[in-house]
């Protein structure tokens, strides 16, 4: 995976270089660097006072609101390095083009946001520009943060300014040249970025619009649930059509396809429960989504979770029904026998002889059923391979504090064993998934070893 991605990057290098030369010669020092590419930000409203150095401190309600918004947006996940103070930045975010290090969002005046005004912060969220006007790399999802209202932007900064300052100088990015240069970023933005301030749909309810605002903006769901092109750009902020997440190698399912997520047919209460606790009557979160629940959605109010569920279900119900399973080739007897033996040895004790799963006395899912499981039957088996290799763990949340987990088999099972057992559970008990090959397993295993 990494080798293929590198080839894509090298192949694009010539194009980017040519564009960089053009932009540098034609626009140097004027259009791209000296001023915002859109109108001057709207003035701060009276209900959301500017949080600027030297101004009166914002009120407690605004700070509390900002903390809530930061949690809903899962800001801590990217802006906190392991073992370092929260929100002090420095976490490496790997991309197909190299490493990006997150910014220090504490109010340190030298290395953080201590000297940032509300206008500066709005410019970063809405226009993707730093305090000095420099273009930010799109690992920061400013296409989604441009959805955020000015009032919420000011509240976020008010909370960040209330934190203890941490002096931590930014770590330089390690992006391949010229990807991280200002001219190249300007070209990328001209192709793929336009601020998308939220506009309510008058035909929908206030609850639906609130859910749309959260999903498209703070939740930035399309950052994972939208396919990315060769230049790393995802679809529009409301594109939830699913795709393989680069580098981390997890598949974010299509949220508009009931066959992949069940959002169209699942009761709203169960969608809310899944987002708030990481588990529901028929599903559990794992991988990157478990982290989203752990650090973000479990802190979301029931009303906001309900709004998100209403919006997501509406999107899924309006999507065209194109879920006819593809015809699958018959599985060889050798693979079938190997898969059955591996399942009986390592899986049946928890998931049941017939893939029926196990529930606790209070009805919680202990070990999910594999029969009829949508994740098991996804066309892309990447997530299954990841869980067998590295284990499957739901988040520990207030609503589900002691989740059961699945151990990793990365050292115990080889590629043929994993391919065979996954083929077994994808083709048994009425499941309609296709065969998994040792080559698919090997590619995913190798990508994690790079």
Judge if 178 and 153 occupy the same domain.
Answer: yes
Judged against a pLDDT cut of 90, whether residue 181 lies above it is answered with yes
Judge if 170 and 29 occupy the same domain.
Answer: yes
11 within 8 A of 78, measured Cβ to Cβ = no
Q: What's the pLDDT band for 29 if we cut at 50, 70, 90?
A: very low
Judged against a pLDDT cut of 60, whether residue 227 lies above it is answered with yes
- Determine the average pLDDT of the residues in 226-239: 93
Does residue 198 lie within any of the structural domains? no
Query: Which of 192, 214, 244 delimits the end of a domain?
Result: 192
Judged against a pLDDT cut of 50, whether residue 26 lies above it is answered with no
404 within 8 A of 284, measured Cβ to Cβ = no
pLDDT in tens, 242-292: 999 988 889 999 999 998 999 999 999 999 999 999 988 888 899 999 999
Max Cα distance, the chain (Å):
75
Query: Which of 192, 216, 239 delimits the end of a domain?
Result: 192
Does residue 199 lie within any of the structural domains? no
Mean pLDDT check: name the lowest of 40-54, 59-73, 107-121: 40-54
Tokens of 7: 């080839």
Number of structural domains the chain divides into:
3
Does residue 324 lie within any of the structural domains? no
Judged against a pLDDT cut of 50, whether residue 240 lies above it is answered with yes
Judge if 267 and 137 occupy the same domain.
Answer: no
- Determine the average pLDDT of the residues in 375-390: 93
pLDDT in tens, 292-325: 999 999 999 999 999 999 999 999 998 776 656 5
Judge if 47 and 162 occupy the same domain.
Answer: yes
Dihedral, 183, 23, 189, 232 alpha carbons, nearest 10? -70
More confident residue, 132 or 37: 132
What is the H or E stretch that residue 392 is in?
A: strand 392-393
Judge if 224 and 151 occupy the same domain.
Answer: no
Judged against a pLDDT cut of 90, whether residue 25 lies above it is answered with no
Does residue 378 lie within any of the structural domains? yes
What's this model's pTM, rounded to 2 decimal places?
0.84
Distances (CA, A) of 335 to 329, 341, 415, 444: 13, 10, 12, 20
114 CB burial (10 A radius; 0-12, 13-18, 19+): middle
- Determine the average pLDDT of the residues in 372-401: 91
Does residue 236 lie within any of the structural domains? yes
Q: What's the pLDDT band for 327 if we cut at 50, 70, 90?
A: low
What pLDDT shows up at residue 322?
60
Tokens of 419: 């391919």
Label residue 130 left, alpha or beta by phi (over 0 means left) and psi (-120 to 50 means alpha).
beta
Supply the DSSP symbol for 86.
T
Judge if 31 and 176 occupy the same domain.
Answer: yes
Q: For residues 267 and 269, give the distance between their C-alpha atoms in angstroms, rounded to a whole number.
A: 5
Q: What's the pLDDT band for 68 if we cut at 50, 70, 90?
A: very high
Burial string for 125-158 (b: 16+ CB within 10 Å, else e) reads: bbbbbeeebebbbbbbbbbbbbbbbbebbbbbbb
Judge if 240 and 372 occupy the same domain.
Answer: no
Tokens of 145: 């943060």
Judged against a pLDDT cut of 70, whether residue 27 lies above it is answered with no
pLDDT in tens, 130-145: 999 999 999 999 999 9
Query: Which of 164, 192, 220 delimits the end of a domain?
Result: 192
Judge if 371 and 266 occupy the same domain.
Answer: no
Q: For residues 117 and 75, give the distance between their C-alpha atoms in angstroms, rounded to a whole number.
A: 19
Judge if 261 and 395 occupy the same domain.
Answer: no
Judge if 173 and 52 occupy the same domain.
Answer: yes
- CATH code, domain carrying 418: 1.10.760.10
Judged against a pLDDT cut of 70, whether residue 30 lies above it is answered with no
What pLDDT shows up at residue 360?
78
What pLDDT shows up at residue 324?
60
Mean pLDDT check: name the lowest of 47-61, 174-188, 272-286, 347-361: 47-61
Q: What's the pLDDT band for 2 if we cut at 50, 70, 90?
A: very low
Q: For residues 411 and 419, give the distance between their C-alpha atoms in angstroms, rounded to a whole number.
A: 15
More confident residue, 34 or 90: 90
What is the H or E stretch that residue 183 is in?
A: helix 182-192
Does residue 247 lie within any of the structural domains? yes
More confident residue, 363 or 77: 77
- Determine the average pLDDT of the residues in 89-107: 94
- Determine the average pLDDT of the residues in 181-205: 95
Q: For residues 21 and 187, give the distance between their C-alpha atoms in angstroms, rounded to a whole number.
A: 11
- Residue 376's DSSP bridge partners are none
Does residue 275 lie within any of the structural domains? yes
Judged against a pLDDT cut of 80, whether residue 40 lies above it is answered with no
Judge if 126 and 244 occupy the same domain.
Answer: no
SS3 177: coil
Does residue 235 lie within any of the structural domains? yes
What pLDDT shows up at residue 113?
96
- Determine the average pLDDT of the residues in 217-239: 93
Judge if 59 and 90 occupy the same domain.
Answer: yes
368 lies in which domain range?
Answer: 333-449
- Residue 204's DSSP bridge partners are none
Tokens of 311: 């919006």
- Determine the average pLDDT of the residues in 174-196: 94
């Amino acid at each position: 995976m990494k080798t293929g991605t590198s080839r894509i990057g090298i192949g694009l290098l010539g194009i980017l270089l040519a564009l960089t030369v053009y932009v540098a010669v034609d626009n140097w020092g004027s259009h791209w660097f000296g001023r915002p590419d859109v109108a001057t930000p709207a003035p701060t409203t009276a209900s959301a006072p500017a949080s600027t150095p030297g101004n009166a401190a914002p009120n407690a309600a605004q700070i509390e609101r900002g903390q809530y918004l930061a949690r809903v947006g899962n800001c801590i996940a990217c802006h906190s390095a392991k073992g370092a103070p929260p929100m002090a930045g420095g976490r490496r975010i790997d991309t197909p083009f190299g490493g990006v290090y997150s910014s220090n969002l504490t109010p340190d005046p030298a290395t953080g946001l201590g000297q940032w005004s509300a206008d500066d912060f709005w410019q970063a969220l809405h226009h993707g520009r730093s305090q000095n006007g420099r273009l930010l790399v799109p690992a920061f999802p400013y296409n989604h943060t441009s959805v955020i209202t000015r009032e919420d932007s000011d509240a976020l900064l008010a909370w960040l300014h209330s934190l203890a300052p941490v002096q931590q100088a930014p770590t330089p990015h390690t992006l391949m040249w010229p990807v991280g240069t200002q001219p190249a970023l300007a070209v990328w933005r001209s192709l793929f970025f336009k601020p998308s301030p939220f506009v309510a749909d008058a035909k929908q309810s206030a609850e639906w619009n609130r859910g749309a605002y959260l999903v498209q903006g703070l939740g930035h769901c399309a950052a994972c649930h939208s396919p990315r092109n060769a230049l790393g750009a995802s679809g529009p902020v409301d594109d939830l059509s699913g795709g393989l997440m680069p580098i981390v190698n997890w598949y974010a399912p299509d949220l508009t396809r009931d066959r992949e997520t069940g959002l169209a047919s699942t009761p709203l209460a169960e969608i809310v429960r899944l987002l708030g606790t990481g588990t529901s009557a028929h599903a559990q979160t794992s991988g990157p989504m478990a982290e989203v629940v752990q650090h973000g959605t479990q802190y979301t109010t029931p009303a906001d979770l309900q709004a998100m569920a209403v919006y997501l279900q509406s999107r899924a119900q309006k999507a065209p029904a194109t879920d006819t399973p593809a015809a699958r080739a018959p599985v060889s007897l050798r693979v079938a026998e190997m898969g059955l033996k591996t399942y009986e040895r390592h899986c049946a004790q928890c998931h049941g002889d017939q893939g029926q799963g196990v529930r606790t006395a209070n009805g919680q899912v202990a070990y999910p059923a594999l029969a009829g499981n949508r994740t098991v039957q996804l066309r892309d088996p990447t997530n299954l391979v990841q869980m067998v290799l590295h284990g499957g763990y739901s988040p520990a949340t207030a609503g589900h504090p002691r989740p059961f987990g699945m151990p990793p088999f990365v050292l115990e099972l080889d590629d043929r064993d994993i391919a065979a057992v996954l083929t077994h559970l994808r083709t048994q008990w009425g499941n309609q998934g296709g065969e998994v090959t040792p080559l698919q397993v090997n590619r995913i295993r190798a990508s994690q070893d790079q």
